[in-house]
Structure 1
Amino acid sequence: MAMIRTRLSIMMFLQFFIWGGWFVTLGTFLANNLSASGGQIGMAFSTQSWGAIIAPFIIGLIADRYFNAERILAVLHLAGAALMYGLYMASDFSTFYPLVLMYMIVYMPTLALVNSVSFRQMSDPGQEFAKIRVWGTIGWIIAGLGISYLFAWDSSQGIADGMLRNTFLMCAIASLALGLYSFSLPATPPKADGPMGLKEVLGLDALALLKDRNYAIFFIASILICIPLAFYYQNANPFLAEIGVANPTGKMTLGQVSEVLFMLLLPVFIHRFGIKKTLLIGMLAWALRYALFAFGNADEMVFMLLIGIALHGVCYDFFFVTGQIYTDARAGEKFKSSAQGMITLATYGVGMLIGFWVAGHITDHFSTNGAHDWQGIWMFPAAFAIAVLALFFLTFKNDKAAAPTPNQSVKV
């Protein structure tokens, strides 16, 4: 079992090394090297959402029914390596965009596939999965530290010299390695049988949960809070680089370190304070982080930026992971899997698609001749998060849905 755990950990490490190795610096690269507008950068980031929307078709209609998960994982990463090399070679946005769209369509399904391969090898996923999944977060952190501190691709000189382009080549090599490595992973044959329609694949049979007023309010809040989330993904790295923060990508790995730490605290917090207060703290953290970004700077107020980055664990874990736990508790046995599919489609699909569109237009609104009014940009998602928080506070009633006890593990 130890050998299998090691092999799965390597898989997770490479899976998230690839994503963290180019996605964090994407906005900075597009703005500085391809002269992309805020709207175009938003389009590029929204490919993640299109990938999330299309992924259930690949997993539900193909992977779960006809082919081994590890073989599909291998093929998708090999295709991803070729597309990533195409991104490395792209010289303008019109060439770059269709390639990044195709890449995210093949990458997003692999997030579910690595989980599937892992779960099928475990006798107690609740206890074992976190120890393997955490290597994915470590992979993301190592990618960021390498970009900043080993290669200095995101330094002022590195950006000016176009060195961020090398992130795509690095990830193409890592994707090729994972594609070949995946063929050696434990066999994970399909298990689904019998008829399965589009409704089941997309998790739409779980829409019955929306008849519950409390869950419907949570569902709407989840989509709305994705708008502030999109601002972080799209603008945080370009913002830090533009105002002169040294090693911005490396410093942003504080967010992943924070995510791991707060993940460990989350079950205790939910058990003690309940679902509503935990969700409210998550939303409040989004508003606080953007206020810190709005009023911090690269000099004497740089500590405000670092605190804002470190709040990522609270922002993400206390709202999105808590939301997954709440959804699981509300769904019951009949809709557990489809409910998770529905909330993922709503947030990473629809919510983030809207969020990147809004973030792109707000960024363009506060941009003049390539320079940005970052305070104006960051105050928008801060105010928006406060509005969502107020709506949720006034309409969501305390919920007695089951929550994990302090001794239960939460998937990282």
Structure 2
Amino acid sequence: MLLQFFVWGAWFATLGQCLGANDLSDFAGGAYGAAPLGAIFAPLFLGIIADRFFPSQKVMGFLFLIGAVFLLLIPSTAEAAAEWTGDPDEPNPKENLMVWLMLGNMLCYMPTLALGNSIAFTHLDSMSFPKIRVWGTIGWIVAGLAVGFMGWSSNLDIFYIAGATSLILGIYSFSLPNTPAPLKGSPVDFRGLLMVDAISMFKRPAFAVFMICSCLVCIPLAYYYSFTSNYLSSVGFTQAASTMTIGQMSEIFFMLLIPFFFRKLGVKNMILIGMLAWVLRYLLFAFGAEEQVIWMILFGIALHGICYDFFFVTGFMYTDKIAPKSIRSQAQSMLVFFTQGIGLYIGYKVAGDKFSSVVKESDAALNTAMAGIGSQDELSTGEQLAQMFSVNDLSEVDSNILSTTMSKWNEFWIYPAIMAGVIAVIFFAAFWDKISITSDDENSSE
């Protein structure tokens, strides 16, 4: 789990900043969109091939090895795209190839999440799984700190460290305990693959409201995942990758408190608080931009535990509780399809277009003006860790450029705050379900 999420976290967290620093920010939306596309198609791959023909550990090993090839090819392709001197009115073929390589990697990576869970559940009891899964979050944190330590937050070398780790993990996967294909010999269930039975759950009004609002709220959520690293760099944070790990640290903390909050708050209040936390986060980013109010920005990042755990984790548990046992896996796949698939895919496209139209030009000017500020010699490990909170002094930067860029960032973050706020109000007014996740009685769709 640690290495698995290290592979993803090493490049995904600061991808937007990396593309912007290499004059490729126009493709940020398409590049980030590779992840939700992987989430959409992963269930089909798992259902048709992985779950029926090959041991899980071998499939996972091959996927990591193939994904490593895609990752290792991205830096040279991106450099060629940045240096392309063709007709500006014509599409840059290298940029398109770079996005296709990212898509190829995510199509390999996303199925490994379910495969890793399958291996763990086969050889461990269910109560031990959370202790294993938490190492995934730790892996993401370690990846962010490592990238920050090496000063690679905006460097294409992030793909080399991710690719090398994927290669190592691919080889290691073959040594994992043998986990036979769970559906070997079974006919392909196309009703299950297409989530036909799970769609019937929309007959339950509360679930329909939950699913629609969850899908829609993932559109503004994509703003955070794709452009926070750019924003932190513009505000002056020296290593955005390290700074963003504060969010994952809070995620671990709130994960431990979820059972307590379930008993006190219930499903509706938990999900609503999660949505409102996203609104607060974006407002903190927006109004913290104008004067570079560091505590507001750090607080916005630290809200990630509430934003993610209260919304996503509660949503998964609610879905599992109300779905009949026979279609629970379908229901979970459907939730992933609508949220981390369709919702985030649209969100990355919308966020990418908004960044290009609102922030890109002024942010590029600010980055040029900031060149050389905060450059440092080699640091000790302790000094590198301190970079998580380190912010450059921007007093030497042209005040007009800085003011203009920060006002643009303010405008950029207001959009997702409004979107998330409207969806939260709709959810508050329309969602009514008395179900208790902590109860042991079985519930079924109506």
Same fold (TM over 0.5): yes
Query: Paired residue for 1:54, among 37, 41, 57?
Result: 41
CA displacement at 1:199 relative to structure 2: 2.4
Say whether the 8 Å CA contact 2:74–2:102 is kept in structure 1.
yes
CA displacement at 1:98 relative to structure 2: 1.2
Indicate the SS of the match to 1:296: helix
Say whether the 8 Å CA contact 2:321–2:437 is kept in structure 1.
yes
Of stretches 368-377 and 99-108 in structure 1, the one that deviates more from structure 2 is 368-377
**Cα deviation per residue 1:287-316 (whole Å; 9 max; x = unaligned)?**
000000011149761011110001011011
Query: Paired residue for 2:12, among 23, 29, 34?
Result: 23
Question: Superposed, which structure 2 residues align to 1:368-387 within 5 Å?
Answer: 369-371=361-363, 372=405, 373-387=408-422
Tell me: CA distance 1:392–1:165, structure 2 relative to 1, closer, same or farther (3 Å): same
Of stretches 361-370 and 44-53 in structure 1, the one that deviates more from structure 2 is 361-370
Tell me: CA distance 1:300–1:194, structure 2 relative to 1, closer, same or farther (3 Å): closer
Please give the alpha-carbon distance, in whole angstroms, between the structure 2 residues aligned to 1:257 and 1:264. 12
Question: Superposed, which structure 2 residues align to 1:8-407 within 5 Å?
Answer: 12-37=1-26, 40-90=27-77, 91=79, 92=81, 93-122=95-124, 124-125=125-126, 127-148=127-148, 150-154=149-153, 159=154, 164-192=155-183, 193-297=185-289, 301-367=293-359, 369-371=361-363, 372=405, 373-397=408-432, 399-404=433-438
CA displacement at 1:212 relative to structure 2: 0.3
Q: In structure 2, what residue type is equivalent to 1:153?
A: W
Please give the alpha-carbon distance, in whole angstroms, between the structure 1 residues aligned to 2:234 and 2:194. 40
Q: In structure 2, what residue type is equivalent to 1:43?
A: G
Tell me: CA distance 1:35–1:213, structure 2 relative to 1, closer, same or farther (3 Å): same
CA displacement at 1:27 relative to structure 2: 0.6
Say whether the 8 Å CA contact 1:120–1:188 is kept in structure 2.
yes
Any runs of at least 4 consecutive aligned residues in structure 1 with deviations exceeding 3 A, and if so which? Answer: 297-300
Say whether the 8 Å CA contact 2:277–2:303 is kept in structure 1.
yes
Indicate the SS of the match to 2:11: coil
Q: In structure 2, what residue type is equivalent to 1:65?
A: R
CA displacement at 1:147 relative to structure 2: 1.2
Tell me: CA distance 1:204–1:254, structure 2 relative to 1, closer, same or farther (3 Å): farther
Say whether the 8 Å CA contact 1:243–1:298 is kept in structure 2.
no
Tell me: CA distance 1:368–1:236, structure 2 relative to 1, closer, same or farther (3 Å): closer
Indicate the SS of the match to 2:324: helix
CA displacement at 1:333 relative to structure 2: 1.1
CA displacement at 1:86 relative to structure 2: 0.3
Tell me: CA distance 1:299–1:13, structure 2 relative to 1, closer, same or farther (3 Å): farther
Tell me: CA distance 1:139–1:405, structure 2 relative to 1, closer, same or farther (3 Å): farther
**Cα deviation per residue 1:3-46 (whole Å; 9 max; x = unaligned)?**
xxxxxxxxx01100000000011111111114332xx2111101
Please give the alpha-carbon distance, in whole angstroms, between the structure 2 residues aligned to 1:26 and 1:129. 30
Q: Structure 1 vs Structure 2: percent identity of aligned residues? A: 43
**Cα deviation per residue 1:303-330 (whole Å; 9 max; x = unaligned)?**
1111000101101110111011110111
Say whether the 8 Å CA contact 1:203–1:337 is kept in structure 2.
no
Give the number of equivalent residue pairs: 381
Unaligned runs of 5+ in 2: 82-94, 364-404, 441-446
Question: TM-score when scaled to structure 1?
Answer: 0.89
Tell me: CA distance 1:209–1:194, structure 2 relative to 1, closer, same or farther (3 Å): same
Q: In structure 2, what residue type is equivalent to 1:33?
A: N
Please give the alpha-carbon distance, in whole angstroms, between the structure 1 residues aligned to 2:413 and 2:25. 20
**Cα deviation per residue 1:191-222 (whole Å; 9 max; x = unaligned)?**
21432333202433211110000000000011
**Cα deviation per residue 1:341-387 (whole Å; 9 max; x = unaligned)?**
11111111111111111111221221352525110110000011110
**Cα deviation per residue 1:265-295 (whole Å; 9 max; x = unaligned)?**
1121112211111111001000000000011
**Cα deviation per residue 1:210-256 (whole Å; 9 max; x = unaligned)?**
00000000000110110121101111011111221122110100111
Please give the alpha-carbon distance, in whole angstroms, between the structure 1 residues aligned to 2:136 and 2:215. 25
Say what the alpha-carbon RMSD is for the aligned residues: 1.6
Of stretches 92-101 and 58-67 in structure 1, the one that deviates more from structure 2 is 92-101
CA displacement at 1:187 relative to structure 2: 0.3
Please give the alpha-carbon distance, in whole angstroms, between the structure 1 residues aligned to 2:427 and 2:97. 42
Q: In structure 1, what residue type is equivalent to 2:437?
A: A
Q: In structure 2, what residue type is equivalent to 1:379?
A: I
Say whether the 8 Å CA contact 2:14–2:240 is kept in structure 1.
no
Please give the alpha-carbon distance, in whole angstroms, between the structure 2 residues aligned to 1:367 and 1:280. 30
Say whether the 8 Å CA contact 1:255–1:310 is kept in structure 2.
yes
Say whether the 8 Å CA contact 1:80–1:175 is kept in structure 2.
yes
Question: TM-score when scaled to structure 2?
Answer: 0.83
